[in-house]
Amino acid sequence: MELDISLAPEILFNFGFLPVTNTLLWSFVLSIFLIVITLAMRFSLKTIPGRWQLLFEVILDEGMKLVESIMKDEKKAKRVFPLVFTMFIFIVFANLIPFIPGQSALSIHTQNGDISPFRAIMSDYGMVFVLTAISIITIQIVAIIAHGPFGYLGKFINLKSPLAFVLGLMDLIGELSKILSLSFRLFGNIFAGEVLGLVMLFLAPFIVPLPFALLGLITAIIQGFVFSLLTLIFISMAGEIEVKEEKKSKACVNFNN
Amino acid sequence: MKLFEALGLNWKILLAQLINFGLLVWILHRFGYGPIIKFIDERRKKIEKGLKNAKEVEEKMEKAKEVEKEIIVSAKKEAQKIVSASTELAKRNQEEIIKKAEEEAQRILDSSQKKAIQEKGRIISEAKGEVAELVVFATEKIISKNIDKFEDREAINELIADEK
């Protein structure tokens, strides 16, 4: 038995010009699964909720409350909620799929060697990168809407004083590092979990991998939560800065008077 | 570029992922969260309304109970009043009736006394007449037939009248 670990997802087949990797395939399947569940829930809504509906409602409602508590504005929260909540359930389910047993037992023979048709979606950096890109772009859009295009640029390129210039540059770097920190946190955790599980399974197939699986289970949910919560906080911060500055300047005016 | 290859980054796949996730967000929002949250909010409003209504009804009921109590109290008072008034009236009536009855009794007594006196007088006068006749008769028998009836009678009558 050999242990092959690759950073890149394996290409299962080509669909037209699109090479379908195992992670892409499963992200499609997961999307359809989530849509089906949500629609099923939506069309079986009852005024007096059953157990499943209640569970669903509680998750949705608590999520909404959390978003509202961080955005501090119901209207904004409603606008951000779909993105953040979809990220959360998508990442959590994507991370939970690998815990359905029996996946590593299957493999497909191709000319490139044996390929497992299953792979944790978030252990594909491409998928994580797409999510991060969406998150970062949303943050920038919110910042631009909140500050105006010139205010947004002025935050990074500030020529008022050398110190302000350096601080602006730091902001720029900080903004760029968000991409890396967000994406590699999720990717690293899940990929490491996968590799760790594989190694443990390779070294000692019985009992020993169980604690690691449990740890992986916790990681799966926490990482989904962390990713979406960080996105939410960044968005909230991006939209808030202007108000803070206004308050500061007002305070200064009051002080001067 | 080597890093991208190692990570398996391929712009076609990235684009596919982006579209996939974008669609997922849109569909879930448009057909999932939106309607479900709306539904939850509506139900929350309905429940709030129901609770409010229940509270209102309770308040109304309490008020109604108070009014009921007031009505009962006032009704009791009224009843008391009526009873006492009627008792008084009855007492007064009773007195009147008794008075009337007594008067009536008195009247009857008076008239009957009067009648009795009259009767007595009549009887006495009648008796006097009869006595006179009897006396005449007896005297006639005792004395003799030749004495004039009428003279004697007059004399006797005078005698009786004197007696009186």
Q: Tell me: the pLDDT tens digits for B47-70? A: 999 999 999 999 999 999 999 999
Nearest-by-CA chain A residue for B36: A42
ipTM entry: 0.77
Using an 8 Å Cβ cutoff, are A77 and A65 in contact? no
> Low-confidence residues of chain A, pLDDT below 50?
1, 242-244, 252, 256-257
> Which H/E stretch holds residue A14?
strand A11-15
Q: How many CB pairs under 8 A join A and B?
A: 104
User: A102 vs B88, which has greater pLDDT?
Assistant: B88
Distance CA A76, CA A142 (A): 10
- More confident: B137 or B63: B63
Looking at residue A237, its pLDDT comes to 85
Pair of tokens at residue B121: 């007088």
pLDDT digits (tens, 9 = 90+) for A23-79: 888 888 888 998 898 888 888 877 777 788 888 888 888 888 888 888 888 888 888
Specify the pLDDT at position B87: 92
Confidence at residue A50, expressed as pLDDT on a 0 to 100 scale: 79
The whole-angstrom distance between A125's CA and the closest CA on chain B is 6
| Best to test chain B binding among A4, A38, A56 (most B CBs inside 10 Å) | A38
Q: Once rounded to an integer, what is the mean pLDDT over residues B116-145?
A: 82
What token pair was written down for B143?
A: 């004395």
pLDDT computed for residue A257 by the predictor: 45
CB A190 within 8 A of CB A122: yes
Question: Residue ranges of the domains in chain B?
Answer: 2-163
Backbone φ and ψ of A33, nearest 5°? -60, -50
Task: Name the residue among B21, B24, B33 with its Cβ closest to that of A60.
Answer: B33
Q: Which residues of B touch A46 (CB under 8 A)?
A: none
Q: For position A1, what pLDDT does the model report?
A: 47
